[in-house]
Structure 1
């Protein structure tokens, strides 16, 4: 099968098409013919450099954490799905390929395009995990940094479902998007603490940083300490005593709930550029540049 691989660490240019063996499903897995694969920050990190505590990938490595497609084969012990069904899930093998394996997946409802379905798994899992770590509950005021991003926009919506009031930071060009998903919008930069205090005179109860934009010191000032602050993006967290959240908790039921909500229009995600699989290097460069307006997706 055709896939995108890298055989050394480096920039986007190390990604290239290759023919690799098709993966075979084992117990608990299904094999899907990929219709869409999302590009995530983790894909860029593992391609670019050695990550402390994470083994080097086995080369040739196929990146890609999220896939949507049509089930081709079903492994032992898998129930509730059969060949021909459309699913979306977390890729057990690299998703930048014509075929991929998944063991945590959910049905794609009729009418939901695979390029939109594939925007959900990683971002929704991250949003749920961090809101759980923060203990966000009814009546809380939550500050979300990077509220227009793929994780931030879902965190805003899921926090609102819990009954929280949300303030979201984003660039000036993305203020309307933050408002659309249910947060009160404000910008980054000098005066952030004063702007947030004006919007939340009683203070903020929790802070989620998805931006990595150096906002943790201001967040600590707003909270009066490091309690109930979580980041998924700022490596300075440890030095500042702030919790850095990583390590996905893949939950099929939660994924199915979020995909169904997207199909109903009860959740919103932002789809950015949709590129051909062979344009994976361009997709990585686009994400690294910050010029993509939404989740970048590859289609074989």
Structure 2
């Protein structure tokens, strides 16, 4: 909820229910009871505060990489690590663009991934065989959300390494793959417009935010431990 308006702001008023994102370039993110937002949109009634509060960062990231990959109507996209926060967001935003999505996840998460609009498959050895069974024509582009060492296999699925973007593999450049960052040296231009677009989709019940767990600010260390386990299904949220 908006508590204060800065100079020149005309798209929000005190008391408005909004969700948004901080200036990653300057702050790199924020865990706080109050935050200054660089971009925002109206909170959809279809999302709880926990869902909305945890959504914007993943929406910006997913929009940024989908734009870089040129995902549109008719594109076939593979998402490596589809059950996590960015993966679940990217599935829905890609499907809304008209893309077909293959999502890798552990067996226990296949039904969950399918419920978001993707065709699930298992990650790991012989991925190419499984993918070509599901989509004989192959995939056009790949988004790596996992950083699990599968880059050689992912590059082998597409025509060239520039058809793969990673948000998690720090060694991506060694394979000719772009590592997309939201802040720091070499950061990509933020896709802040994605927040409003996702809000509109949510209003039409075409976008949701699966929440893996909610922690208090005092439990931030536990939240990070869960994130580092790579077993969270959806978004990990901190709240006051």
Q: One fold, TM greater than 0.5?
A: yes
What SS is found at the alignment partner of 2:3? strand
Instruction: Give the equivalent residue in structure 2 for 1:273.
Output: 213
Is 1:283 the counterpart of 2:219 in the alignment? no
1:294 to 227, 231, 234: 234
Instruction: Give the equivalent residue in structure 2 for 1:255.
Output: 195
Give every structure 1 segment of 4 or more consecutive aligned residues whose post-TM-superposition deviation is greater than 6 Å.
none
Shift of 1:190: 1.5
Q: Which has the bigger relative contact order, CA under 8 A and spacing at least 6?
A: 2
Distance 2:106 2:193 in 1: 34
Normalized per residue, the structure richer in strand is 1
TM-score (normalizing by structure 2): 0.88
If you compute each CA radius of gyration, which structure gives the higher value, 1 or 2? 1
Alignment root-mean-square deviation, CA: 1.9
| CA contact 2:46–2:205 (8 Å) conserved in 1 | no
Distance 1:267 1:110, change over 3 A: closer
Distance 1:162 1:294, change over 3 A: closer
153-162 or 285-294, which deviates more: 285-294
Instruction: Give the equivalent residue in structure 1 for 2:130.
Output: 195
Shift of 1:286: 2.1
Per-residue Cα deviation, 1:170-216 (whole angstroms, up to 9, x for no partner): 11111111111111110011211111111121121111111111221
Distance 2:205 2:116 in 1: 12
Normalized per residue, the structure richer in helix is 2
Distance 1:220 1:103, change over 3 A: closer
Gaps of 5+ in 1: 1-69
Instruction: For 1:80-119, list aligned pairs within 5 A.
Output: 80-92=11-23, 95-110=30-45, 112-119=47-54
Shift of 1:110: 3.9
| CA contact 2:60–2:192 (8 Å) conserved in 1 | no
Distance 1:256 1:237 in 2: 30
TM-score (normalizing by structure 1): 0.71
| CA contact 2:215–2:223 (8 Å) conserved in 1 | yes
Distance 1:90 1:226 in 2: 30
Instruction: Give the equivalent residue in structure 1 for 2:162.
Output: 227
Number of aligned residue pairs: 231
| CA contact 1:141–1:165 (8 Å) conserved in 2 | yes
Distance 1:110 1:206, change over 3 A: closer
